[in-house]
Amino acid sequence: MGLGIGLLGFQTTIANSVTLSGTGVHSGAEVAITFHPAEADSGIVFQRVVGEQTVSEFRAVSSQVGNTDLCTILGFSPATSIATIEHVMAAIYALGLDNLLIEVHGAEMPIMDGSSAPFIDAIEQTGIKALAVKRRYIRILKPVRIESGASWSEFTPYDGMRFEVEIDFDSPLIGRQAWKGDITPSVFKTELSRARTFGFMRDVERMWAAGRGLGSSLENSVVISDDNTVINIEGLRYKDEFVRHKTLDAVGDLALAGAPFIGCYRSYRGGHKMNANALKALMSDPTAYEIVETATQRQRVAKREVLAVNAP
């Protein structure tokens, strides 16, 4: 991945630190995060900070994921965990960023407008720079599939990074929607990054009563009324914003592989839990993938050609 950013095959970080602040969707508290540049091979690291004190640090990889009921959480204890990382991770992954230290003042990411667009903007404002170390990719070698009731998801070999996400809601407004495409920074930006999180009014009310989702509002969620209309006055950003957001979530969840994958990820009626379980299933089968340093067949062939030319 990161094939479109002109930094082909090399790891990246950001040029300078950049801060964002806003409301945490679950706590309702004000939170601030700062993206800092980081060295090659350090990965994406989240650091929870209180005052000057670092209380926890997690590399954004699937083994560090705790709960995935409402959002994706790093860590296993509320005192130290970092929640709602998926929209940030989607932006980081789609832009081809390999190394970043994210300083978090609070227990979760700011929800911003409920999409990945504000994170993309912040990263693009500071700029992306290449590091002198090659990037590694996870190339899918054979199908890995998981099922849960009517839901399923699978990885299959594919020369690129492709997502095919389908949802089927028992709501005439959403119904059955599918998004399919190869993810590049520009495809992600134009087709997925602005899609907002969504929910049904009845669920929002139930969540509020349970003291959850305290920061959710029409400024950061598409809310669907009991009579199946969008309550938000501005309407939808894309006609099929719902499946686009589910795809954005899947991009963010699979970013927890710790390296870009080369393959196709399909899911039907999935969610954070299913994405996390699919990734676990892939990672637990070492015959299903290999770690490579070049992203595409063409690059691999090109590399072989260079080797052939250089051969004595």
- So which residues are the catalytic ones? 272
Query: Which residue among 177, 249, 250, 289 contacts Zn ion (CB under 5 A)?
Result: 249
**Element (H or E) spanning 100, and its range?**
strand 100-105
Which of residues 85 and 131 has its CB atom nearest to Zn ion in the complex? 85
Stretch that binds Zn ion, among 139-147, 165-173, 195-203, 279-287 (CB under 5 A): 195-203
Contact between 154 and Zn ion by CB under 5 A: the answer reads no
Contact between 220 and Zn ion by CB under 5 A: the answer reads no
Binding mask 2-41 for Zn ion (x = CB under 5 A): ----------------------------------------
Which of residues 37 and 215 has its CB atom nearest to Zn ion in the complex? 215
Alpha helices (runs of H) in the chain, residue ranges in sequence order: 86-94, 117-126, 185-187, 201-209, 241-254, 272-283, 297-310
- Supply the minimum distance, in Å, between the C-beta of residue 245 and Zn ion: 6
- Supply the minimum distance, in Å, between the C-beta of residue 275 and Zn ion: 11
Count of residues interacting with Zn ion (CB under 5 A): 2
SS3 of residue 267 by DSSP = strand
Which of residues 47 and 197 has its CB atom nearest to Zn ion in the complex? 197
Contact between 221 and Zn ion by CB under 5 A: the answer reads no
Contact between 197 and Zn ion by CB under 5 A: the answer reads yes
Which of residues 98 and 249 has its CB atom nearest to Zn ion in the complex? 249
Stretch that binds Zn ion, among 93-101, 212-220, 245-253, 259-267 (CB under 5 A): 245-253
Question: Please, what's the b/e burial string for 93-120 (b: 16 or more CB within 10 A of its CB; e: otherwise)?
Answer: bbbbbbbbbbbbbbbbbbbbbbbbbbbb
Query: Cα–Cα distance between 85 and 81 in angstroms, integer?
Result: 11
Angle of CA points 8, 163, 37, to nearest 5°: 40
Helix count and strand count (H, E) for the chain: 7, 16
Question: Among 291, 292, 251, 259, which residue's Cα sits nearest to residue 275?
Answer: 251
Q: Applying CB under 5 A, which residues contact Zn ion?
A: 197, 249
